[in-house]
Structures are given as structure tokens and as C-alpha cells.
């Protein structure tokens, strides 16, 4: 169940960290541990790696061509933008890792961020334009989207939600904002997975394998669904869902304080 939740909510703009924190709290499940959390993130990395495998091959080929010819190209440029766009989140993760695993996981903070990003996404979506998914943001826009990704360290924000909102802010069409957000997720998920790889070996192998596979399958389905949906649809339903979830969390906090 947690693998499916992670896979779906990592790429849909509804916050995977919020759902993974709230599900055990709401249903009274024990914390499955850091090793399981790492397995789920490796599953989502596998999903984005497989779904965009043609893109990754093109990016690798572009980097090799640029090195061989000593001249830039579009694929090498996109690869460089993904690296630079990942730096703010990587720095924030290293500096604030303990806070993100502790104080910032408060259900009150999660509810507040669910609602705040919902309103932001809804407001920006109202002015979003249509267009193809292949548009790549400029360098200034990449830095802004990368800075937004760093905010996703706070549970309830949603890495995909805040980066897609930033993409809309800089003028990307909805499908392009989603595609760049998905590609940008790979370096940071890979970095977090490598950073915590020692914890991965400490978990029960069967549970880790089931969670990883479930996360990968659900993540691939979520990516495909959202890219198809955004060709014609809007982010409004996801904003409404976030607001409803925030209201549910507040209601549960009042009825059953954390």
C-alpha cells in the first residue's frame, strides 16, 4: 500500500511526503523505517528512468557529443540545466535533513503546506497556456524551478507540485512544466538514494522488494496519466484534492491531537 501511495503521489502534485507521513498516523500503522522509505524512492527513480529512457539516452549522447566536439548542443544543455536545477534542493537536503525528518513532519505543518501550495497551483494554473511538452526553460527559469524544488523538503509541499507551479510561473505550458519536473526529479532522488544507501541494507529484503516494485509501477502509471491529462486538462482537481486533504488533517487534529 505504501509503495503504491509513494509511486502515485511522487509524481502527481499532491505531496508524497504528506501521504507517507499521514497514512501511518491516520491508520495507526507503525513507522516502516528509513530503509523502506529509501526503497520507495528507488522505486520512483526506476519509474522515471524507464518512462523517460529515450530522453536519458539522448541526454547522455548529447553530453558525449559535446565533449567530443567541444561544442554545445541542445541535449547537453538540458543535461546541464538538470544538474544546476538540482543543486538548491541538494544543498537544502544536506543542511536541513534532521529538521525534515523531525520537526517539519508535524501534521499541522503538513496541512498548512498542502493548502498553501494548492492555492498557489490553482492561481498559476488559471493563467497557464497550452503548448507542447518538449519546451525547455531558460537558465533563469531553471534556477527558479530549482529553488522551488528545495522548498519541497518541507512535507506537504510536493516536489512535483511546487516545481510544476514554478514552471507555470515562468511561462511553461502545463505539459512542459510537468515533463521538466519529472526529469528534474531524477538527480535529486538518485542523490538521496545514494546518500541513504547504507540504511537500505538494514531492512527486510522481501518488504523492500515489494515496496520498490509497487512504487515503480505506480510511479510509471502516474507519469503517463499526468502527461496525457495535462495535454487538455488543468491542475485544478489536484488543488481541490490538496485543500480537502488539508481540511481532513485539521479535522483529525482537532478530534485526535497528534
pLDDT in 10s for each residue of the chain, 258 residues: 889 999 999 999 998 878 887 787 778 777 676 667 778 889 999 999 999 999 999 999 999 999 999 999 999 999 999 999 999 999 987 777 666 565 677 888 899 999 999 999 999 999 888 788 889 999 999 999 999 999 988 888 999 999 999 999 999 999 999 999 999 999 988 887 787 777 666 667 888 899 999 999 999 999 999 999 999 999 999 999 999 999 998 998 888 765
Q: What angle do CA 6, 258, 156 make, to 5 degrees?
A: 35
Q: Grid coordinates standing for 171?
A: 511561462
Per-residue pLDDT, 193:
77
pTM to 2 decimal places: 0.90
Distance between CA atoms of 110 and 227, rounded to whole angstroms? 26
Which of these, 181, 192, 189, 150, lies nearest to 45 by C-alpha position? 189
Amino acid at each position: 500500500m505504501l509503495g503504491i501511495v509513494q509511486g502515485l503521489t511522487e509524481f502527481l502534485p499532491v505531496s508524497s511526503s504528506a501521504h507517507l507521513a499521514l497514512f501511518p498516523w491516520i491508520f495507526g500503522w507503525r513507522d516502516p523505517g528509513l530503509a523502506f522509505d529509501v526503497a520507495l524512492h528507488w522505486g520512483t527513480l526506476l519509474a522515471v528512468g524507464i518512462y523517460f529512457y529515450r530522453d536519458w539516452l539522448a541526454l547522455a549522447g548529447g553530453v558525449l557529443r559535446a565533449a567530443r566536439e567541444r561544442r554545445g548542443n541542445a541535449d547537453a544543455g538540458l543535461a546541464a540545466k538538470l544538474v544546476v536545477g538540482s543543486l538548491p534542493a541538494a544543498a537544502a537536503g544536506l543542511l536541513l535533513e534532521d529538521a525534515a525528518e523531525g520537526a517539519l513532519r508535524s501534521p499541522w505543518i503538513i496541512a498548512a503546506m498542502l493548502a498553501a501550495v494548492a492555492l498557489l497551483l490553482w492561481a498559476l494554473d488559471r493563467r497557464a497556456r497550452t503548448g507542447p511538452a518538449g519546451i525547455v526553460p531558460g537558465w533563469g527559469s531553471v534556477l527558479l524551478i530549482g529553488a522551488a524544488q528545495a522548498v519541497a523538503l518541507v512535507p506537504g509541499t510536493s516536489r512535483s507540485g511546487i516545481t510544476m507551479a514554478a514552471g507555470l510561473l515562468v511561462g511553461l505550458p502545463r505539459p512542459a512544466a510537468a515533463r521538466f519536473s519529472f526529469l528534474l526529479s531524477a538527480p535529486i532522488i538518485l542523490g538521496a538514494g545514494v546518500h541513504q544507501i547504507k540504511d537500505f541494507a538494514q531492512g527486510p529484503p522481501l518488504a523492500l522488494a515489494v515496496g520498490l516494485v509497487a512504487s515503480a509501477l505506480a510511479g510509471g502509471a502516474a507519469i503517463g496519466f499526468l502527461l496525457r491529462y495535462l495535454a487538455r486538462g488543468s491542475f485544478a482537481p489536484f488543488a481541490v484534492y490538496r485543500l480537502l486533504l488539508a481540511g481532513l488533517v485539521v479535522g483529525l487534529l482537532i478530534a485526535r491531537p497528534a
